[in-house]
Structure 1
């Protein structure tokens, strides 16, 4: 499979195995994943573009990844080094706050790939018999039941 990319210098490049983006505008990273390619990083931020001269040296560990960062009403991005985390924290009224580094509370989900904290696939974090659970519902519940009735719980929500 070949993928056609338009990248810097308005050149067309065919890539056999795209994995890491080394040629991109920092402002366009929300639309792109990481891919590999041939060429250099002339005019690009060295934190987000890594060029090298050895065979197979353009590895993911050499380039920063981006995480969504929520600053009040503005959405920006922060950079993380290879192996560092992004997070999504659920705060009051099930509002998601995103950031870089260690999460400030236990109500978080962490990840460490490029732009991994951009979208949510859950609305709340609830405790369950199997530990913490990502839930699509907007509330959690706890119920006291008799041993024989544990499969007959009628779920309800309350504010």
Structure 2
């Protein structure tokens, strides 16, 4: 289905959010969060790399789309995980333990009412743990950080978004 030109102007705003991930074996995960509006004609991947200050040919950082969500204002936020944080000297936010999964208690209303950035980052970390075991390129990238690999493998064995049944 194609949109008529006038309908495109009615499209909800799209934001690109980048979570720049850090891991320290004794302190756990920390992150920086950057966000920008997606410019017209700019791909979300390019916007994410730009936020992280990674040029198009830079290949030492992993950039991976981990999720999307609707905003309260009716827009869409696309979340990307970048590892490692290209500016580790900048202040970061610790990710609290245990990593909480946000959920809705109402099956007909899937968006969690109390979703916070920490939930989004915890989801991104679980997504990374899933990719470490299923995506050869991601596994090769993070193999340079054995402590990170160990921590990811020690997370509860559920993929991002997967619920374990009692």
TM-score by length of 1: 0.25
Larger radius of gyration, structure 1 or 2?
1
TM-score, normalised with respect to structure 2? 0.24
Higher strand share: 1
Which of 1 and 2 has higher RCO (CA within 8 Å, sep 6+)? 2
